[in-house]
Every structure is written in structure tokens, then in C-alpha cells.
Amino acid sequence: MFAGVALLLAGVGIYGVMSFLVVQRTHEMGVRMALGAQRSDVLKLVLACSLKLISAGTIIGLIIAVMSTRTLQTLLYSVSAFDMATFALVTIFLGAIALAASYLPAMRATRADPMVVLGHNT
């Protein structure tokens, strides 16, 4: 139960941070679309930048998780600290949340009228 709550809190936190980072770039997306960029190109750009962040975070997180298994082993009773299925499922789940968190605001921003987006000073 505690693991589920921790996963939920991590997912909400990642969603908030990724969504905030994409929303901050709304003005940039408006400028690009006003200069002639296609919506799909802007969406690909945002997703590519988000995937770089997600990949870096995933790699760093997995390295730290693997390094901390010895410490966790002393705290666990009759459970392995290095469970490959758990590592894989949690990584996929949090990566999917991060990708959705960058995709949804990017779609909203690309649907907005570039002139309206450019009018907002953020």
C-alpha cells in the first residue's frame, strides 16, 4: 500500500513539473507558429526535448536505485531489494506519466491561436 501511494505521489509530482516546463514554453511555441512552423513540428520539438529530460532522469534514477539496493536490503524482511520486474514496471509507469505530462500541455499550446499566445507576457 505504501509503495502504491509513493508511486502515485511520484507520478503527480512528475506530471506537475513536466506540465510546468511545457507551459513555460507556450510563448516560444506561439512565436514558432507565427513564423510559419507547423503544429506537428512544434509538437515534435517539445516531445523531443521532454524525452531528453525523461531519459536523463530515468537513467540517473535507475543508477541511484541500483546503488541503494544494499542499504534497502538491510531494511527489508523476506523481500528482495533488487526486483527486476518492479524496476521495469515503475520505470515504464513513471516514463509514461512524464510523456503524457508533456504531451497534453503541448497539444493545448499548439491548438491556441499564435496571436493570442504572443499577447501574453509570461
Which of 119, 111, 110 minimizes the C-alpha distance to 46?
110
Tens-place pLDDT, residues 7-50: 889 889 888 888 888 888 888 888 888 888 898 998 898 889 88
Non-local CB neighbours of 104 within 8 Å, separated by 6+ positions? 19
pLDDT of residue 122: 52
Residue 116 has pLDDT above 80, yes or no: no
Average pLDDT of span 85-98:
88
Non-local CB neighbours of 45 within 8 Å, separated by 6+ positions? 32
Residue 111 has pLDDT above 80, yes or no: yes
Non-local CB neighbours of 59 within 8 Å, separated by 6+ positions? none
120 pLDDT band, cuts 50/70/90, is low
Sign, CA dihedral 18-19-22-27, equals negative
Q: What are phi and psi of 11, to 5 degrees?
A: -65, -45
* C-beta atoms surrounding 66 within 10 Å: 12
- The whole-model pTM stands at 0.77
pLDDT of residue 121: 60
Out of 61-65, 67-71, 83-87, 112-116, which region has the weakest mean confidence (pLDDT)?
112-116
Residue 25 per-residue DSSP state? T
Q: Determine the Cα–Cα distance for residues 30 and 37; give it in Å rounded to an integer.
A: 9
